Each structure stands twice: as structure tokens, then as C-alpha cells.
Structure 1
């Protein structure tokens, strides 16, 4: 990659709590380097109070613009974001718009920028589940093909983009979630009281997250998912704690689905409390890509309640198992992963992804071969990382 002038203005677009977490190291790096930026929150996750807590815990500045889009159909939500983001870009005239991941906020930010001939930087580019039934898969593919900068977390994701012939410049940076976990895991252990509050002991409970549309928007799938986790809990004697996403709660109410007694439903958690539960759970059941990554980094075995994943590296290293939704398969996968020692190599980098992203955006010249080599440590395991 050739050297570039430092951007006079960057716009960061985010809209969900996972995006706040994964953008936190990038925002902190901008502050450290005095790189000016405008932070736009679309409001895709519409609990503004909980979002505010995330910004405070991560020690981030409040958003400069909050669009308050909220929940709606994919088309209407994305359209409202496009309109609001376009207004910001016309006013700010940035050099680069940074988006992260695969949400509707990501898609809207990238499209608004591309239509105005503003460079797009895609953080966590190249992920593929190869399941076009997932709206997130469409978002990933579209954003990668309009982006000027594609910041991939692994060599495998770089190869996916190479095969697709993307026009933008690809840099293997590692994943900013590693940066975030490294920066905040000790803070969570020190400050979070969630274990005492919920009367939980480390290693004696399991964690559940389920929020994806392909699971919770279909009552039979949602029931099957919950039944499998409950049967596992009954078999092993491990209580399951489920911090429920507002979308999932609304679907339970709409469908009249009862959560089995073996699963304790609690309110959504702030970042530090959730990180603490992830790091001390015996096992995590999830349909979240981010949770798959975080558990891999933290050394917590994971069972993914889907038939595909855009984080296959977690499976390759032995940190994760794809179970699908059939209750018997969920129980079998949970039994396989429970008690697994976290001796796997972390495939998502060395905690310096944000540095590499800013290097690529500024006049610092980045050696992509060196980056690719250094972001996949071969000797660091999940057990060693947080000791």
C-alpha cells in the first residue's frame, strides 16, 4: 500500500452495541493520534440509555450525531439511515467514512459515502457465511465491493476478497475485538459485580445469547433452540443465563413462546458485565458472530446455534462447534465442548488492529506482508492471553 496524506476528516458510522465495542479501539487510536473524526450513531439498537452506558464504560466521546432511527423493516430502516447519513456527509465533507461489520448501519454508511464519492473503509471486511438467507451476508458483500479500504481480520478473509476480485485495497489487520478484549477484560474483572448480583460462581453456569432474525423471527426455530439448551442444562446441571435482546423478547411475547425453567432470562447487560459473564462461563451458546470471537479470545468454549458461521476460524482452532437448531444436536455439541481446555491459538490477531487501520489511513506506509504475518500469533493461546 502506498503512503497517503493524513485524512483531514473521518466519519465513523455505527449503530449497534457490538459496533461500539469493535470501533472503540479505532476511536481511541484516533484520539491518541489527534486524527479528527465525527461519530455518527444511527440508533439501530434503540436502547439509548444502554448505549450511553457503553460509551461511558469504554471511555469514548458521545456521538456527535444521533439519528434515532430505531427498529423497522430492513428497507425502511436502511432508507432512513441513508438519508440521515447523507446529510451528515454533505455537511462534514469527510475524506473517509469508516463502517464496521455487517449491519444495516454498515450498509447505509457505505452506500451513502459511495454515492458521494467519499472513500469507504470497511473494518472487519471479508467475512463470509455463504448463506444468502442472512441479511448480514448481503450487507457484507455489498460493502466490500464499494469500499476503498478493506481491513480484514485474517488471512482467510483476505483470500475470500481476492477470489471475489474486489476493487479496494486489502490490508490484513487482525480484528479490533481482540484489541477491545485485551483493553477491557481486566477492567471487567475489577469493576463488574455481575457474578455477585446474579449469585453465580465461575465455571458453574452457561451463557446463552440468541437474537438473529433467522432464529428468533421463526417460532419453531426459536422453540427448538431454547429446548436444546434447556435439555443440555437439565442433563449437566448447569444453569443457563440468557441476557435477552429486546428483539428476541418482543418475539417471545408475539409468539407466546415460554422460556424453559432451566434458562434464566435477565435484562440486557452493559459491556463490562457481559464480558465478565463470557470470561467466567463454563460454556456459551450463541448465534452471534461477535460472541464466537470473544469467547475464542477469552478461552470460553462456544456452541453456535446456527448451521453456518462467518467466523470459521473459531471452529478450525477448536474453540467453537456448529450445532444448528435440532435439540439433540445442541445437546451433543454442548456435551462435546463442555470442559474443553482453552489451549487453542487465537486466530484474530495480536491486539494491534486499530494501529494498523490508522496506519493505512494516514501517511504511515503499511507493509501488508508484515501485517499478514504478525496478526496471526502462533504461540499465544487463549489460556495465556489474559494471564
Structure 2
């Protein structure tokens, strides 16, 4: 049995490396937006499709790709998806016009959704039961690490060279990760093939349903506000534009710490870990227009914001492992909601900003956090094997 086997930490690290690169690829265009827009002669609004297109495609590939591949070994599937990621990154670097760039970004979207749908459920198959929480922390540490290292370093590389070099470098690291996945992962035949009927059945489970809806509320709310973090820091906190990049590095570092702390808490108390996320985000984001009006207080709130959002993936995935009748199908469903919510949140935030102002956008995001907190609060903690005190 799995509990009697030695933990496969190299495999865990390889899976984390894939998550790191995929999240970096998804968000890197935010840092390179102006450069790409100028190079390919499109507006900044049109250039924003570099984030929207892969996000939407990832949302749909997450539930549909595991269905399409059926009984394909998950080791083979993850390796192939990283090769698709390599191809998409290289084609992005070579794109002669914006249409070709979006086509290349679509390939990356396929990789993001399919990889996330499978990767989140692998920890119990790679390590003994008593080490699953640690493995989950490592795997989803790739999300926070992408924010603190991947996106900023990719942006800096693009600034010093060009956006094409940044995308090509991403392709090179993706190829190395594909090799690592093939060499370090054991054979991983699916325990139960994912079918559309099974996906629908997951949402019928209350634990899965709460996890998925909470993810939607939190991620839409987060990106509705965080997409505009640069003008928020400049206009509300009085921070110079030249310092925003370094502060986002600190934000990502706080996310890594939050991921580690959440991994320890969620392993024992998943209900409390998930309840804390929207509750703390509600307080931080709602208070920002009122308390974050000085550089010091703005930075302090930003760090708390980063730490809390960095805990989302590992906390909710631990909840999924405790409640889902089919963890791979439920993870695929959650990946759909997560990626779709990124694009939806940015779009909603943009509409609110254009119609009102930055504080109103943050309060609108806070309303979504409130709905998420209430949803978890009204859910019996016993569904994840925990009692309220």
C-alpha cells in the first residue's frame, strides 16, 4: 500500500516545478503588457487578451481534458502537457503578429488547465498519508513562488532584453521540467477514469460544492482588486511607481509564507483554514482605502493580503481531498472555476474601476469575500472531519 512506500519527494518537486512555470506563464504578460503592445502595435486593452485567452481555455481544459484522455497514465499526461507548454512558449516568442501570439497563448491555456486538474490530486499517491500535507504545501508552493520569483524575474528579463526572450526562456525551463516529470514520476494510471457524468456528480457533493463556490468568490474578488494593485499602491498609498515592482516581490514572499502556514493548519484543521481565507481578505481589502493611505500602512496591508491569498490553493485542495468522492474529478472542477474566475475577476474589476473608482472596486471585491465567508460559516464543519469550538 502507499503508506508503506518511501515518499517520492523528487516527483513532488517536479510537479511543483510544473505548477510554478504554468502560473508564471499565465501571469507573465501582466508585467510585459506595455512592451508587447508597443512591439505588435495593439492597444493595452487588446494586449490584455494575452491573460484572458489562456485563462478561459484553461478553465475549460481542466474538466474536459481528463475526460478526453480517459485511462492515459498521468505521468505521460503531465509530461505531454509540459511539452505543449514548451511549444506554446516558443511560438509566443516567435510570433510575428498578435493573432499568432494569441494562438500560441491558447496552447499554454490547454496546458494550464489540464495540468492543474491532475496535479492537485497526486500528493496522496506520491507520499505516505502522514506526509500528504507537506507534499501539498510543496506542490502548491509553486503558485506563490511564481508570484515572488517567476513573474518578477520574467518581467525583469523582458525589461533587460525583450518580451520574446522572456517567453523563450520560459519554454526552455518547461522542456527541462518535462524531462524531470518523465524521469521522476512513477507510473500513475488513473484510479477511476474521469467522465462528464462523474464531474457533474462531484458538484452534488456538499463539501465539493462549497469548496468550488468559495474558490469562485475568493478568486473573482481577489483579481477584481489585485489586477489594479499598481495604481492602488500609487494613488491610495502614495508609493512611487518605481517601488511597486519590489513590493510585489515582497507580496509574493508573503504568499510563500502563507502557503507554508496554511499547509500546516489545513492538514489538521481544513475547515478553519478555509474559513480564515475570505474572512481575512474581507478585512484587509475593505480596510485598504481607509487605512492604507500611507506608504507604511499600505505595504503592511499588502503583505497580509499576499500571505492570505497565498494560502488559497493548499487550503481548499486539502478540503477537496477530505470531501470529494473522486479527488481528480473534483480537482478538475476546481481548476475550471479557479482559472475562469481569474479572467472574470479582472473583467469585473475593470468595469467597476471605469464606472467608479479604485476604493469602490476594493469594496466590491470585499462583498465577494463576505459571501465566501458566509458560505463556509453556514457549512457544517463535520463534512471535513472537524468540529467547531
What TM-score comes out, normalization by structure 1 length? 0.29
Would you tell me which structure has more strand in proportion to its own residues? 1
Would you tell me which structure has more helix in proportion to its own residues? 2
Higher RCO (C-alpha under 8 Å, 6+ residues apart):
2
